[in-house]
Amino acid sequence: MGEKSFKGYSGKALSVLQKFNAPVWSDVELITSKGNYKGIILPRSETADDLHVVLKMPIGYNIGIKAESITNINIFGYKEAHYQIPEKEFPRDPSKPNVKLLGTGGTIASRLDYRTGAVIPAFSPGELYGSVPELADYCNLDTEKLYGVFSENMGPEQWIGTAKAIGKEIEKGVDGIVIGHGTDVMHHTAAILSFMVQNSPVPIVMVGSQRSSDRPSSDAALNLIHAVNTAAESDIAEIMVCMFGPTSDVYGLLHRGTRVRKMHSSYRSTFRTIGDIPIAKVSRDEIVPLRQDYKRRRKDKEVKIIPTFEEKVSIVYYYPNMKPDVIDSLVDNGYRGIIIAGTGLGHVNKPVYPALKRAQEKGVAVYMTVQTLWGYVQMYVYETGREMMQLGVVPCANMLPEVAYVKLCWALGQTDDLEKVKEIMLTPIAGEITEREPSNGYLIYQGGLPEVEEFISRYVK
Amino acid sequence: MYDFRFKPFEEMTDEDYEKVGFKSGLEIHQQLLTEKKLFCRCPAGMFNKNYDAEILRHMRPTLSELGEYDGTALMEFKTKKEIIYRINRQSVCTYEMDDTPPFLINEQALEIALETGLLYGCNIVDELHIARKQYLDGSIPTGFQRTAIFALNGKIPYKDREIEIVQMSIEEDSCREVSDVGHRRVYITDRLGMPLIETVTGPDMRTPQEVAEVALLCANIVRSTNKVRRGAGAAREDVNVSVTGGTRIEIKGVPKISRIPRLTYNEAMRQWNLLRLREELKKRNITEETFGSSHHDITKLMKKPHYLPIKTAVENGEVIKAVVLKGFAGLLNWQTQTNTYFSKEISDRVRVIACLTTIPNIIHSDSKGDNLTSFEWFDVLKNCSATENDSVVIVWGSEEDTNTAVKEIIIRAKEATIGIPSETRQALRDGTNGFERILPGADRMYPDTDLPPKEITSEVLDDIRQNLDRPYFERIKWYKELGVPKNVISNLAVSPYTKLFRKSIEEYDLDPKFVSRSLTSDLNRLKKLNRIEQFDEDNLEKALKLVRDKKLSHSGIFYYLQKTFMNTEFNFDENSKLLSEDEIKKTAKEIIGSIDDTQLHNAEKKNEITIGIVMKKISLKAEGKTVREVVESILNGGN
């Protein structure tokens, strides 16, 4: 019996199971000093201790039994679980648009992994049709798994690969693209793709879920339906994030890729457009634009893919009492670009100035954004701001810090010439800088106020 | 073997239940008395129907751990319900709404649970694994209940045998349903997330009365911890019933133990009568293989119906369909429960699964009475090619729902040829039960990936054991031996002061009758008379010690406690001993001498009244018996 069949067990628990030759998935009766227990031995999470054996009882519950109390194991058989999402062939209808789903690792449909307790995505069109049959109402769906990484592990390699894959699909004449993605850094990916993929003739919709699809209340299926509906039907040819509007299963919002941000660690309605309003509202049945200034769907295939990236860029979240060595160490480590998320209108304290001067002298591109997220950098209002600009710090208007970060990576990937970099940075490409902030671009209603409570009581949250 | 016919409830004997092989077990849900909820820090026990906001969700079936969709899960998905949750900010946070992951399990709740596990003599598991148990009816916004088994294999003595405690789990409570109309079900969330324990007994009860008795017994055992909630909805029973040849059927959410006997009687009758129905079908040569049915759209036949439900359907542009059940003539009126017939089994399924919730939702040709005209029925039967041997069921509604209904009618009728479908059933007020959903299997359980397993160490268990009084049953036996009055025993056994009682007997050597009455009847009187809710145990112990030290009389303890717990000033010297007989005599004489004759208006009761007046003055420091003797002897002319 190989090591593999005792998945996750180590130490005492492993030696007991080995002693009685009872690998995981054995159908057993554990004889212990406290009583006897029937069930199936399950794999154990590798992060759990090495003292207990996990048993799935016939009623479906799991319990942990202390290995040292086990005096014998009667083995009746072997019952390995096979996960299979009911697979049905995805129906094809020539009159329906063709949508391509590119997977990077989010959980659209999934199963559980015992070893880690993690959720493993299921992905083929057949599997998806088996779990979300509604998708066939909108399109002919093809899928391609580009990556299988958790959101936080997305990086330059995956971004470049995804941009190129998008280019290829557009070349092939697809009518819309959906990108399945983990939610943690979805807004980073949305932003970088907004720069790497320009002038797309079709909608490119990023989607994920806040509640994994192994649970009945998951938002995954409805998000996917919204995203597929958008990719198939909408005339919005932009990079968008499509996630729940409210926490209720009612509608999704289409956020512009450069203005969207994850704003809550766990809410379904975590994605919000910052400093502007979303492009549209999407439900199962319709897509309602909230604005008209979006790029329209076209028949051509004239997409521009610019997959460049400089990895030596950092983001510095300023805090009072920050010491100059924070900046110095970046410069000394060969960083070529620094995005500062400054306080208020874009400030850092004076003791940091010498470090900024040194950065300027070493040819490091330093850009200022605001940690308030809403509002513009304004470095003329105070003397200190003007001093910083003299030290080469470039204000980034109302670009979000993460967006400025990926844009600087992207710009430095194209040229060493800091003037050119500055031109790229300050020229809006996909709405990352807007000329004006509409008054409804900043709405964080304060709970507790009677008028807000009244509003909440009238609509599902 | 199915010759036996159920008699009215009152006439059924134990032998009758033995004939049908009545078997029943309980799943007892009991909320725990904690400050906070089980997996979040919301306050527990705040019940309020008001709400500030609503959330809308749908439930989709998912894959369980062993890779199968669960039967119930699929049924619920067929129903496509919109679920509305009403939320009150004070009792619900983002956890219950499923917008925040769980916090670690409430230790206070777990400790209470473990204590009850020990009281039942169970084995406590070494490591707690929190599972997700799917509920697609929407009663929990996540779509699953977080639950974990913490104890197994206990038992309680009952009559001359033992009732097995199969397992106990700790879990979060679900929402309360407000309404369920059409495709919209509304829940209030105040109860959601409350910690509770579920105790599952073996199928060891043999009559409906036994089920109720064991339920009461179990209720008393957990109440004896004084750490469980009381009052409406705090304890709810699911009752499993089967008869010989039948299936284990679960009746969910019985709110009162007193309703158990009639509910279990009706369920046993339903199963028995469904088995008899299968025999009848066999006689008619209708089996699973030969079962025949057809269905027909009869919307066009209903030109000007007078029967209001169908008239309304026609006016609303809905469709009307007829299902022919071949050879079923008369069987829709086959009795299943008290005043309940096979047609109800069909109607229930149509209501739950096809969401046709306005009753009546079907009519059938076995009761042509007051619905369609005989001319209309003739037309329908002819159009469907139904003969007089067949039954025809008519259903109406939206195209989609009616299609689901037609399928479901056929499914349920066909199931009659097989026996009793595995279902969970809901308890109805009249003692009968109705279909709730298909019985879920083990497939709906999967591990909660949000929370790690939790080791239950022997140190934790030892701590709990140390503070535990002896098991309920041993105590009852001991109380009897001590001569505690019968009417006090059960109150004492579930009293919070059982340990103080033990100390008073074993350490202070006080009279068991006296202590047991003081700790139960006296305190109950104070609750009623003076609305005192909290009795500080230290003060109780102090009073008992004063009695032991002969500084407070037995008969004075009630008055003493009353004054103490009402915080009123009263004249009591903690250091002085009880009055001697001479002192009592002296005081009594003084008092008698000063009694105004008008106080003795009733000459016959002169003695009693005088004793009362004397007692009032010195009761704390003199035993009633002595005062009586002294006063009587003075009044009778003694010295």
Q: Would you say residue A84 has pLDDT above 70?
A: no
Helix, coil or strand: residue B444 = helix
Number of compact structural domains in chain B? 4
Written as six digits, the tokens of A328 are 């110095």
Top CATH class of A313-426 equals: alpha beta
Cα–Cα distance between B198 and B178 in angstroms, integer? 23
The C-alpha torsion from A189 through A190 and A195 to A201, rounded to 10°, is 130
Q: Are residues B557 and B596 in the same domain?
A: no
Whether the domain at A3-78 and the domain at A313-426 fall into the same CATH topology:
no
Q: From B443, which residue of chain A is nearest by alpha-carbon distance?
A: A60
Nearest to B123 among A34, A45, A51 (CB): A34
pLDDT tens-place string over residues B340-387: 999 999 999 999 989 999 999 999 999 987 899 999 999 999 999 999
Least confident of B84-88, B171-175, B444-448: B444-448
Token reading at A160: 């470049």
**Together in a domain, B372 and B477:** no
pLDDT of residue A122: 62
| Catalytic residue chosen out of the listed positions A100, A262, A295, A407 | A262
Among B65, B11, B492, B89, residue whose Cα is nearest residue A117: B65
pLDDT, one tens digit per residue, over A169-189 is: 999 999 999 999 989 999 999
Does the residue B215 lie in any domain?
yes
Interface probe for A, chosen from B69, B82, B86, B98 (most Cβ of A below 10 Å), is B98
pLDDT at A413 > cutoff 70: yes
Whether the CB of B55 is below 8 Å from some CB of chain A: the reply is: yes
For residue B123, the SS3 value is strand
> Is residue A71 annotated as a catalytic residue, yes or no?
no
N-term to C-term CA, chain B:
84
Task: Note whether A295 contacts B: Cβ–Cβ < 8 A.
Answer: no
- The answer to whether residues B298 and B345 belong to one domain is yes
Angle at A248 between CA A245 and CA A252, to 5 degrees: 30
Q: How far is CA A142 from CA A178, A208, A226, in A?
A: 10, 17, 16
Residue B68 lies in a domain: yes
> How do residues A344-372 score in pLDDT, each as one tens digit?
999 999 999 999 999 999 999 999 999 99
Residue B396's DSSP bridge partners are: B320
Residue B299 and residue B156 in one domain: no
Is B93 inside a domain boundary?
A: yes
Distance CA A104, CA A188 (A): 14
Of the residues B218, B248, B278, the one at which a domain ends? B248
User: Among residues B112, B226, B235, which one has the least CA distance to residue B523?
Assistant: B226
Pick the CATH number of A98-305 from 3.40.50.720, 1.10.287.3510, 3.40.50.1170, 3.30.950.10: 3.40.50.1170
pLDDT confidence of residue A3: 45
Which residues of B fall within a CB distance of 8 Å from A69?
126
Q: Burial of A398 by CB count in 10 Å (0-12 exposed, 13-18 middle, 19+ buried)?
A: buried
Residue B477 main-chain phi, psi, to 5 deg: -60, -45
Handedness of CA A153, A155, A158, A163 (dihedral sign): positive
Report d(CA A338, CA A312) in Å as an integer.
9
Cβ-based contacts of B66 with chain A (< 8 Å)? 81
Decide if B453 is inside a domain: no
Res. A4: pLDDT tops 90: no
Return d(Cα A31, Cα A46) in angstroms, integer.
24
CA distance A254 to A256: 7
Instruction: Tell whether B132 lies on the interface with A, counting CB pairs under 8 A.
Output: yes
Distances in whole angstroms, Cα of residue B423 to Cα of each of B73, B248, B250: 13, 9, 7
Say what the pLDDT of residue A132 is: 84
Domain co-membership, B556 together with B593: no
Give the one of B54, B65, B442 whose C-beta lies nearest to A59's C-beta. B442
- Over residues A382-398, mean pLDDT: 91
d(C-alpha A248, C-alpha A217), whole Å: 10
Give the side-chain half-sphere CA count within 13 A for A5.
12
pLDDT tens per residue, range B302-349: 988 999 999 999 999 999 999 999 999 999 999 999 999 999 999 999
- The reply to whether A262 belongs to the active site is yes
Domain that holds residue B28: 9-248
Which CATH class, in words, describes the domain spanning A3-78?
Answer: mainly beta
For the record, the structure tokens of B418 come out as: 């097989």
Q: Does A81 touch chain B (CB under 8 A)?
A: yes
Question: What is the per-residue pLDDT for A2?
Answer: 42
Please state, in angstroms and rounded to a whole number, the distance separating the CA atoms of residues A411 and B331.
Answer: 80
Is residue A62 less than 8 Å (CB to CB) from chain B? yes
pLDDT band for position B71 (cuts 50, 70, 90): low
Q: What percentage of chain B carries pLDDT values higher than 70?
A: 95
How crowded is residue B575: how many other Cβ atoms within 10 Å of its Cβ?
A: 6
What stretch of H or E contains A56?
A: strand A52-56
Distance CA A397, CA A440 (A): 18
Mean pLDDT confidence for A433-454: 92
Q: Is residue B606 located within the same domain as residue B553?
A: no
Boundary of a domain, candidates B200, B219, B248: B248
Q: Is A31 on the interface with B (CB under 8 A)?
A: no
CB A72 within 8 A of CB A20: yes
Residues 6+ apart with CB under 8 A from B507: none
Give the DSSP letter string of A254-292: EEETTTEEE-SSS-TT-EEESSS--SEEE-SS-EEES-S
CATH of the domain at B341: 3.30.1360.30
Indicate whether A131 pLDDT > 80: no
Q: What pLDDT does A116 receive?
A: 41
Q: Are residues B230 and B306 in the same domain?
A: no
Q: What is the DSSP string of A368-436?
A: EEETTSSS----SSSHHHHHHHHTTEEE-TT--HHHHHHHHHHHHTT-S-HHHHHHHHHS-SSSSS-S-
- In this structure, are B125 and B13 located in the same domain? yes
pLDDT at A66: 96
Q: What is the pLDDT of residues A291-300, one digit of tens each?
A: 999 999 999 9
Q: Find the CB nearest B453 among A64, A131, A248.
A: A64
B57 touches chain A (CB under 8 A): yes
* Cβ atoms of residues A435 and A370 within 8 Å: no
| B478 and B561 belong to one structural domain | yes
What angle do the packed helices B581-594 and B624-635 form, to 10 degrees? 60
In a domain, B455, yes or no: no
Q: Is residue B82 part of a domain?
A: yes
- List chain B residues with CB under 8 Å of A47: 452
Residue A183 is a catalytic residue: yes
Do the beta carbons of residue A365 and residue A421 sit within 8 Å?
A: yes
Q: Work out the end-to-end distance of chain A between its first and last CA atoms, rounded to an integer number of angstroms.
A: 54
A–B interface: beta-carbon pairs under 8 A: 157
Residue type, A187: H
- Whether residue B253 is contained in a domain is answered as no
Domain boundary among B420, B450, B482: B420
Report the C-alpha gap between A259 and A253 in whole angstroms. 13
A450 touches B: beta carbon within 8 Å: no
Beta bridge partners of B23: B242
Under a CB-based contact definition with an 8 Å cutoff, are residues A306 and A250 in contact? no
The answer as to whether B44 is a domain residue is: yes
- pLDDT reported for residue A1: 42
Quick one: angle between helices B624-635 and B606-618, nearest 10? 130
Residue in B with minimal Cα distance to A70: B126
What is the pLDDT at residue B603? 67
Please tell me the distance in Å from A180's CA to the nearest CA on chain B.
Answer: 19
- How does DSSP classify residue B520? I
B92 and B233, same structural domain?
Answer: yes
Min CA distance, B123 vs chain A (Å)?
7
Tell me: pLDDT of A457 over 70: yes
In the structure, what pLDDT confidence band is assigned to residue B105 with cuts at 50, 70 and 90? very high
Q: Where is average pLDDT lowest: B4-18, B56-70, B182-196, B564-578? A: B56-70
pLDDT of the residue at A214:
77
Strands A252-256 and A239-244, how do they pair?
Answer: antiparallel
Share of chain B above pLDDT 90, in %: 69
- Give yes or no: residues B411 and B486 share one domain: no
Percent of chain A exceeding pLDDT 70 equals 94
Higher pLDDT, B505 or B66: B505
* Inter-residue contact A230 to A238 (CB < 8 Å): no
Per-domain residue ranges of chain A:
3-78, 98-305, 313-426
